[in-house]
């Protein structure tokens, strides 16, 4: 079964009901059907909490994270991943951290709305629509 790492921006599409929500929902449906295993980093949870708290109550935020946890495995982040991210030549440090986390846990693909920010990646990086056409 494919190990799919979701970038924070992909999860936000679903939670905040942004454009392309249907595509992201299809990826989550693949998880429900046991076709893929979904992963996010601990950093993603922290980022979601920071962003979503601006438009939701604390109770809603906790419910959102608890519901998300039903679908995704939350990966820890380590000092070693941080050190590796510091050596990556990328544009967005948060994406370098996400990449190192996905790489450390041997994910098969990173799904992100910002592929260009992963130009350094040795892992395959696809947008949600690309992934649906290439699971």
What range defines the domain where residue 97 resides?
A: 2-132
Residue 40 is predicted with a pLDDT of 98
Residue 134 is predicted with a pLDDT of 58
Residue 55 is predicted with a pLDDT of 87
Structure confidence at residue 80 as a pLDDT band (50, 70, 90): very high
What does the pLDDT average to over 72-87?
A: 95
What does the pLDDT average to over 113-132?
A: 94
- Higher-confidence residue of 92 and 134: namely 92
With 80 as the cut, is the pLDDT of residue 135 above it? no
> pLDDT of 8-63, one tens digit each?
999 999 998 888 889 999 999 999 999 999 999 999 999 999 999 888 999 999 99
With 90 as the cut, is the pLDDT of residue 124 above it? yes
Percentage of the chain exceeding pLDDT 90: 83
Average pLDDT of the residues of the chain: 93
- Residue 77 sits in a domain whose CATH number is 3.40.50.1010
Residue 46 is predicted with a pLDDT of 95
* Residues 95 and 83 sit within 8 Å (Cβ to Cβ): no
Beta bridge partners of 5: 39, 110
Q: How many domains does the chain have?
A: 1
């Amino acid at each position: 079964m494919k190990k799919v790492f979701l970038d924070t921006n992909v999860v936000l599409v679903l939670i905040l009901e942004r454009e392309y929500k249907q595509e992201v929902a299809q990826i989550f449906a693949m998880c429900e059907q046991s076709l893929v295993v979904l992963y996010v980093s601990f950093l993603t949870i922290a980022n979601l909490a920071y962003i979503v708290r601006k438009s939701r109550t604390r109770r809603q935020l906790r419910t959102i994270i608890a519901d998300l946890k039903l679908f995704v495995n939350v990966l820890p982040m380590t000092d070693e991943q941080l050190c590796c991210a510091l050596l990556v030549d990328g544009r967005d440090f948060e994406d370098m951290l996400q990449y190192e986390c996905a790489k450390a846990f041997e994910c098969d693909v990173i799904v992100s709305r910002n592929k260009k920010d992963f130009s350094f990646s040795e892992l395959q990086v696809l947008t949600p629509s690309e992934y649906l056409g290439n699971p």
